[in-house]
Chain A
Amino acid sequence: MASRRTAWSADEGERVLRGLHEHDRLVLPALQALQEEFGYVHPDAVAMVASFLNVSVAETHGVLTFYHELRTAPPADVVVSLCSAEACQASGSRALRDEVASAIAPVGGRSADGGVDVVEVFCLGNCAFGPAALVNERLVGRVDLDRLHGAVASAREEARA
């Protein structure tokens, strides 16, 4: 994941904004395109988006902070999204979350080696195979710590490749 990302610069940011389809020249799609390209929305991008779309900085900041998934700092190579919604709770996600907190990082945290972020999400649509997790973009079902470690290891390899 990380290897495909572009390093942030104002020029690259401008390039992404100019590449937006006419229908996507709106604040949320613009911020999403920046995050897709750079892995996060650089704080300098807020004024740039506002100016490009002719909206206020406040409005752009408002959108950026509304959506859980938009981030303003680079993520780790591997992002583990643990499902914390009811169907996974019924299948043991609360216990798994505690195990992950000891073995990798607590929700909202980063592993000691800096390679893995752990975040919580509400529902991955894998509700009959809970607990579920998304490891970067790969969905994993019936997650236990072993399976999670395996998925994280292959995601790390992909990130290095």
Chain B
Amino acid sequence: MSTTVYVPGDSAVRSIGADDVARAITEGAAARGLDITVVRNGSRGLLWCEPLVEVVTSRGRVGYGPVTDLDVASLLDAGCLDATTGATAEHPLSVGVVDEIPWLASQTRITFQRMGVIDPLDWDDWRAHGGLAGLQRTLTAGAVEVIDELVASGLRGRGGAGFPAGIKWRTVAGAEADQKFVLCNADEGDSGTFADRMLLEGDPFTLIEGMVIAALAVGATRGYVYSRSEYPAANDTFRRALEIAAEHGVIGGDVLGTGVPFELSLRVGAGAYICGEETAMIESLQGGRGMVRPKPPIPALEGMFGKPTLVNNAMTLATVPMIVADGGAAYSKAGYERSRGTQIFQLAGNVARGGVVEIPFGLSLRELVEGYGGGTRTGRPVRAVQVGGPLGAYLPADGMDVALDYESMIAINGMVGHGGIVVFDDTVDMAEQARFAMEFCAKESCGKCTPCRVGSTRGVEVIEKIQAGIDRSANLVLLDDLCELMTDGSLCAMGSLTPLPVRSALRHFGEDFQR
């Protein structure tokens, strides 16, 4: 009897040896005359347990992890990688039935319901796990009902701004134009985030499905996914996914026999963080410098080449198929106050159990960092946590009892952002982190507005003076003034939010600026 064994092909897992594990299994099976089929799935997101090898048995998918190539012989010899004996085989690396691991079982996987479960480029496998249900309902229900469902779901933009997705869709749908665009922002530049990358690699058809639904709902005929050059493996996988989707008639000249065209392609950036800002992304997609545009006009009315353009984050678009298939009310049941549904949090940095935690909004940061994350990987005390990427606030260990939802985070001068949580232990120098925030802004500013372009360079200088003990109290006043100016005067979030990490470091870790 043939046995199916899953070894993730996700690039993060490959970066710590998954290919060696897969090779060892194939070679070990051949040497022993065993009939094993190795499937390269995405990652389930339990990165602390990766490489996680899963075996299909009568009990379900039984897992072992973290596995190295050196462990494979003992797994084979113990009968673990066998469909029959694998159900009861014992091994020190066994984590039991993967779906029952509390870290995973306690999550609410909606957007990531197929992540790590399926073979990412196997169309039939994807269909067997509910793929295309949302698009099929779109074809029968029609655009108005789909947008109503999206509004009812309460889904808000997962890129970080948190704008209600349904309202944005309604605006684009209502705009009159000869051409409209749907753009997916997968320019996931925030440190500590990797969910978009995992999606492109682990469940690309779902993103494509979400974009086709969007196109039909708003009346767009052309779409682009804007990804990052730092994600070469994800881009390769996604290009193949586009080809396969076209073969199945989901994209191209005639979407599933409707007579409606939707051409979709991938564009890749060239190492510019600012292109994650939606108007800079549009400029980049038009082939130019990634310069931020003033708003209004909003892209929903005047976006790509001046046409009405729907811009959504990859996570937003990948959530759409489930909302349309199961209804907005079902999605809206999860969540906290005005933050409905689930957020894909990513635990990163110096954390014992890093990975993806998809849960309803409202859990406390402490439960996420200490509960799921298990504290630091180094075993030292947690000192600081940065939430929401390089423009997000640094919070101290005693400030982690905040609920993770859009409004609660704003209330403490922070933000959920794209859901990245970066953990630091007590060796971190927070004055240096503040200096880096300004340096990053100086390097990545598009240069359009003066507060960001000049302010960030001045910010680096003034923090360096404070670090060096030069006229410290006067320079701290100057830094505060500069932060206020950048916040109030910058054109986009890059310049206006860079003060967030700087000021939070000053507020919570003032002693680091007095050394």
Contact = CB atoms under 8 A, between A and B. Distances in A.
Interface of A: 23, 26-32, 59, 62-63, 66-70, 81, 85-91, 121-130, 132, 134, 137, 139-142
A134 B270 CA distance: 15
Contact of A142 (B16, B230, B440): B16
Contacts of A32: 268, 270
A153 to B, nearest CB: 16
10 contacts: A63-B288, A67-B269, A85-B192, A87-B349, A87-B420, A90-B425, A121-B230, A124-B231, A125-B193, A128-B346
B506 to A, nearest CB: 17
Contact of B287 (A27, A127, A129, A139): A27
B194 A125 contact: yes
B190 interface: yes
B269 to A, nearest CB: 8
Contacts of B424: 90
B15 A137 contact: no
B15 A86 contact: no
Contacts of A91: 349-350, 377
Contacts of A26: 286-288
A32 to B, nearest CB: 6
A123 B230 contact: yes
Contact of B420 (A29, A122, A127): A127
Contacts of B343: none
B289 A62 contact: yes
B110 interface: no
B12 A139 contact: yes
Nearest to B263: A23
Q: Which 6 A-B pairs have the closest CB atoms?
A: A26-B287, A128-B354, A85-B191, A127-B348, A90-B349, A141-B15
Contacts, number: 150
A32 B196 CA distance: 22
B407 interface: no
B265 interface: yes
B289 A126 contact: no
A127 to B, nearest CB: 3
Given A27-B287, A125-B188, A69 B16 contact: no
B87 interface: no
B347 interface: yes
A42 B330 CA distance: 55
Given A62-B288, A66-B272, 5 more contacts: A89-B433, A121-B271, A134-B230, A139-B232, A141-B16
B15 A128 contact: no
B355 A125 contact: no
A59 B288 contact: yes
Contacts of A127: 191-194, 346, 348-349, 354, 420, 422
Interface in B230-244: 230-234
Contacts of B347: 128
B12 A125 contact: yes
Contact of B270 (A68, A129, A130, A132): A68
Interface of B: 11-12, 14-16, 47-48, 188-194, 196-197, 228-234, 265, 267-273, 284, 286-290, 346-351, 354-355, 377, 386, 390, 420, 422-425, 428, 433, 436, 440, 444, 446
A34 to B, nearest CB: 12
B487 to A, nearest CB: 20
B233 A139 contact: yes
Contact of B189 (A28, A81, A122): A122
B230 A86 contact: no
A159 to B, nearest CB: 16
A139 B290 contact: no
Nearest to B229: A69
A126 B18 CA distance: 14
A126 B268 contact: no
Contact of A86 (B192, B194, B233): B192
Nearest to A21: B265
A126 to B, nearest CB: 5
B48 A125 contact: no
Contacts of A68: 270-272
Contacts of B15: 126, 129, 132, 139-142
Given A121-B271, A127-B349, A27 B229 contact: no
Contact of B12 (A31, A69, A89, A128): A128
Contacts of B189: 122-123
A63 to B, nearest CB: 6
A145 to B, nearest CB: 16
B349 A130 contact: yes
B68 to A, nearest CB: 12
Given A27-B288, A123-B191, A69 B355 contact: no
Contacts of B348: 87, 90, 127-128, 130
Given A68-B271, A128-B347, A88 B16 contact: no
Contacts of B351: 128
B270 A67 contact: yes
A141 B233 CA distance: 14
Contact of B355 (A67, A128, A137): A128
Contacts of A87: 191-192, 348-349, 420, 422
B14 A139 contact: yes
Nearest to A53: B287
B360 to A, nearest CB: 22
A121 B273 CA distance: 10
A90 B230 contact: no
B419 to A, nearest CB: 12
B16 A29 contact: no
A90 B422 contact: yes
Given A127-B191, A137-B232, A122 B354 contact: no
